[in-house]
Amino acid sequence: MNDVIIQAQEWISALLTWFDETLLSYQTLAQLGTILLLWVFSLGLTRLLGYLFPHGLDRFDLYKRLKPQLAPLYDLIIWVILIMIVKAVADQQQVASYALNIATSLILAWVVIRLATGLIESREIARLIRSFAWVLAALNIVGWLSPLIDMLDGITFSLGQGQVSIYGVMTGILTMLALVWLALFVTAFLENWLRKVPAVNPSARVLLSKVARIVLIASAFLFAVSSVGIDLTVFAVFGGAIGVGLGFGLQKVVSNFISGVILLMDRSIKPGDVVEISGTYGRINKLAGRYTSVISRDGREHLIPNEDMVTQTVVNWTFSHRMVRRHLPVGISYKSNVDLAIELMIEAADEIPRILEDPAPRVLIKGFGDSAIDLELRMWIRDAKNGVSNVASEVYYKIWQKFNEKGVEFPYPQRDIHIMTGTKTDILPE
């Protein structure tokens, strides 16, 4: 511990000496003032050019694609050009230009890093990587990176049977973050590739992508830990504790995860299937590790635990095939022509585009009720994901129109009332 304190004191002393001899000299302060003035001038020049040339190079397609990445760098590019011009003049007059050299290197490093991180979609991650990379570049440019690494590498502590330094922990964390990002990128590429392979069904596609993600992320973590110099056997007790915790405190979470794996392996449901469970009817949008996403016809997304999808009764309208038969009961009056009613019901079904011609719609006589002849129209559709009640409504409306046009009557409830006449004594004996 004393060695660490001594190294830190030496490093801080060297840092203060550098500030006193290099940064706080009159020549350096004058150069810093010049750099600041050039920065203000570059901002004004950028605004002036934007006012004089509002469209710039928009007529070139390549520039249009690169404009979002180049636009934030205009003032920096002008700034570094102005600094390089002043530096060239200073070199010609044999004037020291230490601060100008550092400023040029720092600005160019920022421009390069900004262009490189512009390819990252997440703005927060890009900003974090950009800041970290520029700090490392700045430390290297001013000559502080190597002493800082030596100091961090000298600060060690015991972990298990070995010694681990602060520098090793930091490099391990950075390595893990880079490898996890690479694993997620490879997994996304694998998912896109599997999506284009018609021979792989949706359930197998989701299962392969999730297994690949788990394996790659776990490998990244283990590789990062081993690169630090930590013996992996120290995680044996920790892993046992996690197992006990999972067994008692996370039963539902583990049950949902295992149920999700079962759903993917037995392929009972898959993304795109139309299912009905516990009164929820909709299309499966996503199979996650803990839940199944079902989007109903009204746009609401139901997150159903995977355990419920395994233990409860699930009606999968598209499990074996996409064809679904609908049964529409219709009652007609006893005075109506049954043959005409059957013909009109089939015509109504044939006029709806969503109803299949093969198998053709059929009408059955289901029975004779108290007030009506009970008929049933049976028809097939292939796109249950677009709804099954709406197509029934369309057919009912067509039947209503055709029955009214042809005089087919809908029944009304009929009751026979018998009125008994006679004296009071005949009805109610004393």
DSSP string covering 309-365, please? HHHS--EETTSS-S-EEEEEEEEE-TTS-HHHHHHHHHHHHHTSTTB-SSSPPEEEE
Number of domains in the chain: 4
Asked if the model's pLDDT at residue 405 lies above 80, the reply is yes
304 shares its domain with 328: no
Residue 6 confidence (pLDDT): 62
The tokens describing 356, both together, are: 């299949």
pLDDT in tens, 221-262: 777 777 666 655 655 555 565 666 656 656 777 777 788 778
41 shares its domain with 83: yes
Peptide bond into 359 cis (omega under 30): yes
129 shares its domain with 22: yes
Minimum mean pLDDT among 80-89, 323-332, 371-380: which range?
80-89
* CA 409 – CA 335 distance, rounded (Å): 8
**Residue 418 vs residues 240, 353, 370, 372, 421: alpha-carbon distances, Å:** 83, 50, 17, 21, 10
The tokens describing 422, both together, are: 């006679």
365: confidence class by pLDDT, cuts 50, 70, 90? very high
Residue 344 confidence (pLDDT): 92
Asked if the model's pLDDT at residue 427 lies above 60, the reply is no
Of 215, 249, 283, the position where a domain reaches its end is 249
Which one has a higher pLDDT value, 307 or 209? 307
428: confidence class by pLDDT, cuts 50, 70, 90? low
Asked if the model's pLDDT at residue 50 lies above 90, the reply is no
Residue 200 CB partners (closer than 8 Å, separation 6+): 194, 208
192 shares its domain with 274: no
State which residues form the domain around 385.
324-406
Domain-located, residue 413 = no
Nearest residue to 377 via CA among 335, 341, 402, 333: 341
94 shares its domain with 116: yes
Nearest residue to 410 via CA among 357, 352, 315, 345: 345
Asked if the model's pLDDT at residue 157 lies above 70, the reply is no
Question: Do the beta carbons of residue 155 and residue 4 sit within 8 Å?
Answer: yes
pLDDT in tens, 5-18: 666 666 666 666 65
pLDDT in tens, 92-145: 777 777 777 888 888 888 888 877 777 676 677 777 877 888 888 877 777 777
Of 93, 127, 154, the position where a domain reaches its end is 154
Residue 358 confidence (pLDDT): 86
Residue 318 confidence (pLDDT): 78
209 shares its domain with 350: no
Domain-located, residue 418 = no
Tell me the average pLDDT across 327-335.
90
What CATH number does the domain containing 340 carry?
Answer: 3.30.70.100
Domain-located, residue 423 = no
18 shares its domain with 46: yes
94 shares its domain with 201: no
Tell me the average pLDDT across 340-346.
92
59: confidence class by pLDDT, cuts 50, 70, 90? low
Tell me the average pLDDT across 195-212.
70
Residue 343 confidence (pLDDT): 92
Asked if the model's pLDDT at residue 375 lies above 90, the reply is yes
pLDDT in tens, 160-188: 566 667 777 777 777 777 777 788 778 88
Domain-located, residue 412 = no
Nearest residue to 348 via CA among 408, 297, 308: 408
Tell me the average pLDDT across 329-348.
91
Domain-located, residue 350 = yes
Domain-located, residue 12 = yes
396: confidence class by pLDDT, cuts 50, 70, 90? very high
Residue 8 confidence (pLDDT): 61
285 shares its domain with 368: no
Tell me the average pLDDT across 78-97.
80
39 shares its domain with 111: yes
Domain-located, residue 421 = no
Residue 33 confidence (pLDDT): 81
What CATH number does the domain containing 292 carry?
Answer: 2.30.30.60
302 shares its domain with 371: no
Residue 250 confidence (pLDDT): 63
309 half-sphere exposure, CB direction, 13 A CA radius: 31
Q: What angle do CA 354, 358, 360 make, to 5 degrees?
A: 85
* CA 178 – CA 30 distance, rounded (Å): 41
Question: Do the beta carbons of residue 310 and residue 327 sit within 8 Å?
Answer: no
pLDDT in tens, 285-299: 888 777 888 888 778
Domain-located, residue 133 = yes
123 shares its domain with 188: no
Residue 257 confidence (pLDDT): 77
Mean of per-residue pLDDT scores for the chain: 77
